[in-house]
Amino acid sequence: MFGVSIDNILNLDQKYYTMEDYQSDIPRWCPGCGDNGILAAAQRLLREEQIAPEKTVFVSGIGCSSRFPHYMNTYGFHGLHGRALPIAEGIKIRRPDLHVFVNMGDGDCFSIGSAHWIHALRYNMNMVAMVHDNNIYGLTKKQASPTTPKGLKSNTTPKGAILNPLYPLCTTLGVSNVSFVANAVEWIPELLYDIIRQGFHHKGLAFIRILQRCPHYTPHVFDPLLNEPDNILLLSHENGMHISDPIKKMYKNVEEHDPSNMHKAREYAAMTDRIPVGILYRNENIPTYDDLRKPEKPNTPEVIHAALEQEFDKFGINPKTA
């Protein structure tokens, strides 16, 4: 039976979550928007890992990608522009038992949220951060973002973007305490899912940049990758991404890359002739802020209740003295 483990068959009292259990409102993204593929990959991950919806939180900032929590039947927080990461960190530090995911756009993360992006990498808290990078501001109707290609015309660059785009992977790999960096494309769902899955199992901050098509404002930006599979370089390794035979038939450029090799990861991140897809860097030995600030007593419901009662007692009215 597809998708049902033997444990769930033998234990009929145990709740089995289906994809529908993680689905909320019908997505309002444009037809053909790559956000739909990322949503499907996230819901598939929760189903495969059998993560309880009430133990899961999706946090976002502002943008098309930040509609994500509305479409997940889990806890969610739709925050301010660029502020998704500090909100997620606050949730994780107080509720380490929750699985925390962050969804941001390229403008959301790399522009107004850039300071939070850099310091979230330093903090290395145990969560998954996904950046939906479509090279444009979509929700606010086509303004240039930090990753907009040079020469692309937008509402803020009507004669074409003047500056070279930011290389987010290079920046990420230059921050201290970075522990997991991956690059994905939403139109190869098998690899997208595998990368998110490995990020979920990583102890620390899993930073995943996902190239994502915007059919309305940047419909042809990724044509060189879609029309010429040789422009994509798949990174394979026993401790990284495993490439199936059908994928290898379509994408001929496959290289073995040990994700523990930071020097090589930086070389891949700086490539301009081909786009690397896979896990560029992984280091399980980087300490997480969660562990460094772990309280001596866990915040159990009993502890929280006792603390609240103690505070309320300060303002209580004794009927004998009233």
pLDDT for residue 301:
77
Question: Over the chain, what is the mean pLDDT?
Answer: 92
- What confidence category does residue 2 fall into, taking pLDDT thresholds of 50, 70 and 90? very low
Establish if 1 belongs to a structural domain.
Answer: no
Q: What is the mean pLDDT of residues 36-59?
A: 97
Phi, psi of 197 (to 5 degrees): -60, -45
pLDDT tens digits for range 116-161: 999 999 999 999 999 999 999 999 999 999 999 999 999 999 999 9
Q: Is residue 5 over pLDDT 90?
A: no
- What confidence category does residue 113 fall into, taking pLDDT thresholds of 50, 70 and 90? very high
| Number of domains the chain contains | 1
Establish if 21 belongs to a structural domain.
Answer: yes
Establish if 314 belongs to a structural domain.
Answer: no
Identity of residue 272: T
Establish if 159 belongs to a structural domain.
Answer: yes
Establish if 10 belongs to a structural domain.
Answer: no
- What confidence category does residue 319 fall into, taking pLDDT thresholds of 50, 70 and 90? low
Strand-pair category, 180-185 with 275-282: antiparallel
Q: What is the mean pLDDT of residues 296-320?
A: 79
pLDDT tens digits for range 239-273: 889 999 999 999 999 999 999 999 999 999 999 99
pLDDT tens digits for range 180-219: 999 999 999 999 999 999 999 999 999 999 999 999 999 9
Phi, psi of 319 (to 5 degrees): -60, -25
CA 77 – CA 66 distance, rounded (Å): 10
Contact partners, residue 39, CB within 8 Å, separation at least 6: 27, 68, 71, 72
pLDDT for residue 303:
81
Q: Is residue 112 over pLDDT 80?
A: yes
Q: Which domain holds residue 112?
A: 16-288
Both tokens of 271, joined, read 């490539």
By three-state DSSP, how is residue 241 classified? strand
Specify the CATH number for the domain of residue 156: 3.40.50.970
Nearest CA to 277 out of 246, 311, 251 is that of 251
Establish if 77 belongs to a structural domain.
Answer: yes
With vertex at residue 94, the alpha carbon angle to CA 38 and CA 78, rounded to the nearest 5 degrees, is: 40
pLDDT tens digits for range 159-174: 999 999 999 999 999 9
pLDDT for residue 1:
36
Q: Is residue 80 over pLDDT 50?
A: yes
Residue 32's CB is within 10 A of a number of other CB atoms, namely 11
Establish if 60 belongs to a structural domain.
Answer: yes
Establish if 305 belongs to a structural domain.
Answer: no
